[in-house]
């Protein structure tokens, strides 16, 4: 028989007939505690042109196959561990990988918030009997003061390999006599205990055991488990950092929401008082009243600006916490745009801008009217700020299921590499007006568009020339069936 179980005569005949070498399939032989892998090659033997017979070479490839298996395992493990940002899912994946590849059962203990107490968070076994026995071990994660091997690994950060479990080892594993009885029910024959470490900190412990009478862990197995534990610890640490970042962002958004809400009331009162004072001063006719009036006008402008900033922060906070509620309905965009331009006529004139509206037909969107107006006011304000003295064109169109409003200015334009960045929070365009805002208007506008199921982006004007074209997409309103046209 050949190494792979094929009749040797068939292999020899194949070499003689083809006069070419034949490589047989790798085969494993169980010789000692671990299987060994061999690869046989058969080749024709010649003397000059004469075929004399068949020769053979058998070489051991055990180490090569182990390395290939190890690398494949780590590649698969890395891919699987990267699929989740929930650390408990990561820990569960670790236990499943260990049992699938190298052990009969696996336990994972994680350190709590105090950095001392362990919680047994995962257990996985190769069959139901061991799994049921593992459930009994859940209360026995070794706590501070327990003189167990797990605690030693936790405190030293060094792995432990118990190649042969004996009575002394069982005593070193057990927290107490009841726990020892549980361990005896598991019947571990060989055990590895490896720390989960990331950024110089021990996060927990992975324990793996085999119950086979013929299987014993080696230093090679320990190295493989350490490689897995290192990857797992990084994944767990990243998941925890991500969670902490989420919590910090949520706390910040909640603080901003509360703070801006509290600021709106005194700002409104301040605005009312300043307006009342200005009306009083306007009734007076003197040089002093004129000076006071100018001061009050400046104060009112600053109060208005502060109110807008607070409103922007409030919107950002509500968008961040998912509390931005929209009141959707049928909104005719052509009339909305005409009305908005009329309302902003004074501001446009002050900026030296003329707004030209191209809206030849009704276009109805499913939208929240005040929020659409907010987006368009932001776009028009930007056009006046960055392209003063130049015209602004507004287009209302429809394209399939989409209602479209485009705002085209004749300013300096936005380079392609910055067209996404300007929609990020606290990003401001360059120029003399960059300090005049927090850089939230475009971020809020895009988020509002997306909350509608649409989008907002910027492009170069299709017809060429200077400036930018901001395009707002909104879903079109669909008339309920049976509604008369109109």
Topology at the third CATH level for domain 247-320? Helix Hairpins (1.10.287)
Mean pLDDT of successive 10-residue stretches along the chain, which has 486 residues: 58 84 75 73 86 85 73 75 82 89 91 84 92 88 82 92 91 88 91 92 93 88 90 88 82 72 74 80 73 78 75 71 80 95 92 93 93 93 92 94 95 91 74 52 90 94 89 88 45
Cα distance between residue 455 and residue 406, in whole Å: 12
Cα distance between residue 155 and residue 149, in whole Å: 10
CATH class of 329-475: alpha beta
pLDDT of residue 15: 82
Cα distance between residue 437 and residue 267, in whole Å: 18
pLDDT of residue 125: 94
Domain boundaries, given as residue ranges, for the chain: 8-60, 66-244, 247-320, 329-475
pLDDT of residue 31: 61
pLDDT of residue 435: 41
Cα distance between residue 394 and residue 339, in whole Å: 12
Cα distance between residue 264 and residue 398, in whole Å: 38
pLDDT of residue 248: 80
Query: How many degrees, rounded to 5, is the angle at CA 53 between CA 48 and CA 59?
Result: 105
Superfamily of domain 66-244: GAF domain (3.30.450.40)
Residue for token pair 């910040």: 252
E strands of 400-450, at which residues?
402-408
Residues 6+ apart with CB under 8 A from 198: 233, 234, 236, 237
pLDDT of residue 259: 72
DSSP, collapsed to helix, strand or coil, labels residue 40 as strand
Longest dimension (CA), the chain: 128
Residues 6+ apart with CB under 8 A from 66: 220
| 87-101 helix and 62-81 helix, angle to the nearest 10 degrees | 160
DSSP, collapsed to helix, strand or coil, labels residue 330 as strand
Using CA atoms, how far residue 318 sits from 244, 422, 447, 453, in Å, is 20, 20, 11, 17
């Amino acid at each position: 028989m050949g190494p792979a179980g094929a009749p040797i005569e068939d292999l020899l005949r194949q070499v003689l007939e083809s006069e070419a070498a034949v490589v047989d399939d790798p085969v494993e032989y169980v010789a000692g505690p671990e299987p060994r892998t061999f690869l046989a090659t058969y080749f024709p033997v010649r003397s000059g042109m004469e075929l004399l017979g068949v020769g053979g070479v058998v070489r051991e490839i055990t180490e090569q196959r182990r390395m290939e298996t190890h690398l494949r395992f780590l590649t698969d493990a890395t891919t699987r561990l990267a699929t989740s940002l929930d650390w408990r899912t990561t820990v569960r994946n670790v236990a499943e990988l260990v049992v699938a590849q190298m052990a009969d059962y696996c336990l994972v203990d994680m350190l709590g918030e105090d950095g001392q107490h362990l919680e047994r968070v995962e257990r996985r076994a190769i069959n139901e009997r061991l799994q049921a026995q593992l459930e009994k071990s859940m209360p026995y994660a070794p706590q501070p003061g327990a003189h167990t091997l797990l605690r030693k690994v936790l405190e030293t950060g060094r792995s432990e390999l118990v190649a042969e479990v004996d009575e002394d080892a069982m005593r070193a594993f057990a927290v107490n006599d009841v726990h020892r009885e549980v361990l005896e029910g598991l019947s571990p024959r060989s055990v590895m205990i490896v720390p989960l470490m990331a950024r110089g900190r021990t996060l927990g412990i992975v324990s793996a055991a085999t119950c086979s009478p013929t299987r014993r862990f080696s230093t090679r197995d320990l190295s493989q488990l350490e490689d897995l534990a290192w990857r797992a610890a990084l994944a767990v640490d990243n998941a925890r950092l991500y969670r902490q970042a989420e919590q910090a962002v949520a706390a910040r958004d909640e603080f901003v929401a509360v703070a801006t809400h509290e600021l709106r009331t005194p700002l409104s009162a301040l605005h009312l008082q300043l307006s009342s004072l200005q009306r009083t001063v306007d009734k007076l006719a003197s040089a002093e009243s004129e000076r006071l009036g100018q001061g009050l006008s400046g104060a009112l402008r600053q109060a208005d600006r502060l109110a807008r900033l607070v409103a922007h922060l409030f919107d950002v906070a509500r968008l961040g916490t998912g509390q931005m509620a929209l009141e959707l309905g049928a909104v005719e965009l052509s009339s909305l745009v005409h009305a908005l331009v009329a309302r902003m006529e004074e501001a446009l004139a002050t900026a030296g801008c003329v707004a030209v509206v191209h809206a030849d037909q009704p276009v109805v969107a499913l939208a929240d009217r005040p929020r659409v107006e907010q987006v368009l006011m932001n776009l028009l304000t930007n056009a006046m700020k960055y392209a003063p003295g130049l015209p602004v064109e507004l287009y209302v169109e429809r394209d399939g299921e989409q209602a479209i409003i485009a705002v085209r200015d004749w300013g300096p334009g936005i380079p392609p590499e910055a067209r996404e960045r300007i929609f990020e929070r606290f990003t401001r365009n360059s120029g003399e007006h960059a300090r005049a805002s927090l850089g939230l208007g475009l971020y809020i506008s895009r988020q509002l568009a997306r909350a509608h199921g649409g989008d907002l982006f910027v492009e170069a004007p299709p017809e060429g020339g200077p400036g930018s074209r901001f395009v707002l997409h909104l879903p079109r309103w669909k008339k309920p069936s049976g509604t008369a046209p109109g």
